Copies of this chain bind each other. A is one copy, B any other.
Amino acid sequence: MSRLDKKQALLDTALTLFVSQGFHATSTASIAKQAGVATGTLFHHFSSKDELMKQLFLSIKQEFANAIKGQISQKGDIKADAQHLWQVAINWAIENPLKQEFFQQYSMSPSIPAAIRQQAMNDILSFMGELILQGQKTGELAHYPLSLMQESCHGQFLAATRYFLDHPETWENDEHKQASFSMFWNAMKA
């Protein structure tokens, strides 16, 4: 196993264990063991357990951001754009259930320093903020306070993914995905 493989193995294992047992209930020793490396190796790659959590959080957030941002078409049809992004985001969550569950659990948790959470949230939400502003300019979106609308986006996304993750039989059901988008869009539209 190469250097980077070990670091990745540690991140992967930490994700699994943090989601299934919780951050504090997961010992660094158990992460290392299940990742197939020695205890000390974890601290060779991450200066502390908190640092491991931080890097895990930021890397997953980045992965999600990359999946989404690459899909912005900017064709000008805001509703079509929004629908496409919603689909992509929901699909990412369905395809990465562990990572989505991680977000559900830790987006509001004090296990991640508030500053890190804020920063990560801002990165995602600021990109959404621009889309919202644009939609308000064209008159397609409602003129509510920006941060209220951002929180609503985030909240609806978490709610929708919770539904899909809790009901795996719906994963192929486009009607339900469409329903989740309708609720989202109706909430936001003018």
Contact = CB atoms under 8 A, between A and B. Distances in A.
Interface of A: 21-25, 104-105, 108-111, 142, 144-145, 147-149, 151-152, 154-156, 158-160, 162-163, 166-167, 170, 176, 179-180, 182-184, 186-189
A3 to B, nearest CB: 16
Contacts of A154: 159
A19 to B, nearest CB: 8
Contacts of A142: 179, 182-183
Please classify the interface of chain A as helix (H, G, I), strand (E, B), loop, or mixed, using the class held by over half of its residues: helix
Nearest to A189: B186
A187 B184 contact: yes
A92 to B, nearest CB: 18
Q: Which 6 A-B pairs have the closest CB atoms?
A: A155-B159, A22-B110, A24-B24, A187-B187, A155-B155, A151-B159
A125 to B, nearest CB: 12
A83 B170 CA distance: 31
A187 B110 contact: no
Best-buried of A148, A149, A160 by chain B (most CB within 10 Å): A148
